Amino acid sequence: MLERVSGLNILFVCTGNTCRSPMAEGVLRAQAALWGVGDRVLIESAGTTRWHESQPPTPEAQVATRERGYFINELRSRPVEASDFDRFDWIIGMTREHQQFLRERRQSHDQAQILLITAFSANPGFREIADPFSQGQEAYDLALDQIERCCADILLRVRASVAA
């Protein structure tokens, strides 16, 4: 049987699951733990492709997150699976392309909400998290800045959802 928690189950999705989505997983896990709701939320990440299956996050993603106190080196890339649409309450894409990919694979009976990472933010100043892959450390740092901002807004909703 697939793991679920009685609170909220969240899956972050990007293309290869080696940059943005594992960074988001690491950030939200740390923030949830800090705010005392870590035991009531399951947070994972996956990719729209199998390109990097079973690989760890990129070295640049690990450096960016480690410098801010998040540790994602133990994570391994995996693709989105059909069972994810039943297992997770929120499936959060980094771009509209990811969101469309997820909507196309969702079955009519699936209960997961397909969301864009910026959906929880009133006016973040950006609409998507651009892919930093092969763009240098600055691109990873910028992506992490944006992910942290979005995750702070997501955490507000998480806390309200699991507090009830």
Residue positions annotated with a catalytic role: 14, 20
d(CA 151, CA 69) in angstroms, rounded, equals 15
8: β partners: 41
From the centroid of its chain, how far is CA 4?
A: 16
The secondary element (H helix, E strand) that includes residue 101 is helix 96-105
Q: Dihedrals φ, ψ of 158, to 5°?
A: -60, -50
d(CA 87, CA 82) in angstroms, rounded, equals 9
d(CA 134, CA 58) in angstroms, rounded, equals 10
